[in-house]
Structure 1
Amino acid sequence: MSTLTNQMPPPGPPGWGQGSQGGPGGPPPGFGGPQGYSNPPGQFGAPGPGNAPPYSDRTEPYAPSPYPPNPYPPQPYPGNQTYPVPPGYGPPPAGASPVGAGVLGKRRNPFAVWLGLPIITLGIYSLVWVYKTNKELSAYNPRIQVNPALSVLAYVIGWVLIVPPFVATWRLGTRTRDAQRAAGLPELSPGVAFVLWLVGGGALYLQYEINKIWARYPGAVEGQQVPLSF
C-alpha cells in the first residue's frame, strides 16, 4: 500500500525560481532585469538590462490598396418626405408645416347641388351628393375616416330610427371643418351647418364651404395630388 507524501517538484532550469537574474529561482538570463520581466519601451515601463530589442513604431508607408475606390459611395437616407406648399398656394397657418398630401375634389355649383339637380332627379341627386362629398373629403384628408355608403344608408333607411340622419348630417359638417383645417383655411361651424340643414339649406352652405378648399389650389384639377398644410 502506497502512501502520499509531500514532495517538492523537480528543480527547473537554472535561473528559474524566486531569486534574482541568473541566481537560484531567478528569471533566465536575457529575460529581464534583476526584478523580473521588464516591459517594452513606451508601454508600461523602461526595459530591463536583459530585455529583447525595444519595440519601434511603424514608420514605413503602407502599400496602396490593389482595389479600385468604391464607385458607389454610401448615400444618406432621405428620411420621411414631406410635401412643401408650391408657390401660389398660400402660406400654411402660423406654426404649421406641410404634413402630407391629398387628392383634390370637384368644385360644384352650390345652387345646383342645393335645389336644381335634386328637383330634376326627384331627390336622388341629394343622396349622390352625400356619397361623393364624403368620399372626396376623406380622399383629400386621409385622417378623415368614413364609409360613404353608410352615410347614404343613414338618409335612406335611417329615418326608421330617426337618429341616424341627424348624426350623418352633423358628421358631414365636422368632416368639412376638418378638411378646411387641413387646407389652412378658416373653419366653418358644424352647428351652423346642422341648423341650416334643418331648415333646408345645409347642402347650399356646405358646398359653398367645400369649394373654398378646392379653390385654395389654383391651377390644380380634380383628382390631382395636392399638399396639405395641417
Structure 2
Amino acid sequence: MKKLAKNLRHPRQEHERRKAERQARQQGEQQQGESSSQPPPGLASSSEQATTPAPPPLQSSPVSSLTPSRFSREFTAQNQGRDSVDSNRSSVPRYMLHGTSASNAPNILETGLQTSYGGQEGGASKKRDDPKYIESSQGVVHGTPSRRVAGAYAEYHNKLSAEGEIEENSAFIGFRNVHPESTEKDPHSRGSYKISQSIPSNQVVPVRPEKVAEGEDKTGLFIP
C-alpha cells in the first residue's frame, strides 16, 4: 500500500502534467508546419512575391535626332556616291530628300513631314495639276533618294516673274525614313516613294540647294 501510494499523483499534478504534454505536442506540430511552408533557399514566399514589385520592363531607346552632317554622310553612303533614278531598288531607302518651297520649309522643319498635307494646296502635286497624282498623294509623304528627282519636285515651286524670269523658290528637306514598313514605291514617279506615316520633326533637316546636284536630264522622271 505504501509503494502504491508513492506512485499516485494529486489530480492537480496530473492535470498540470497532461497540460504540459499537450502544449509540447502542439508546439512541435506548429514548428513542423512552419518549416514545411518555408520556400526553398533563394525564393520568396507567396506573400513576399505579392508585395515585391516586378522590375520595370525594358524600354527601347528612342531614335536619336537627325543632324545635317549625319544625313549627308548616311545619304552618300546609302547611294554609294551615285545619284541614279533606280526604280528596281531592292530595299527601302532610309535616307531621302523632299523637294519643297522656301515658304513651306520652315513649317516642315518645325512640325515634321505630315501626311495630312499630301495632295493639298502648296504642294508639288497641286502645282503639277495632275488629278491622278493629286489623288495618289492624299495622306502620304513623298521622298526620294535621288537628287535629280528631288530637284524636279522643288522646281515646281519656282516662280515666274512679271519680266518673265524664273525666281528661285526651291528648298530641300533631308529626312530619315523611320517608317520603312509603311513605305512603297510611287507608281507615278520613278525613284520616288510614298510613306503613309508622318516623319517627326527630329528626323528632318534642311539641305542647302547647292548640295542637291542638278541632273543632266530631268525628262522622263514622271510616269503618265
Q: Which TM bucket (shorter chain)?
A: under 0.3
> What's the TM-score, normalizing by structure 1?
0.23
- Structure with the bigger percentage of strand: 2
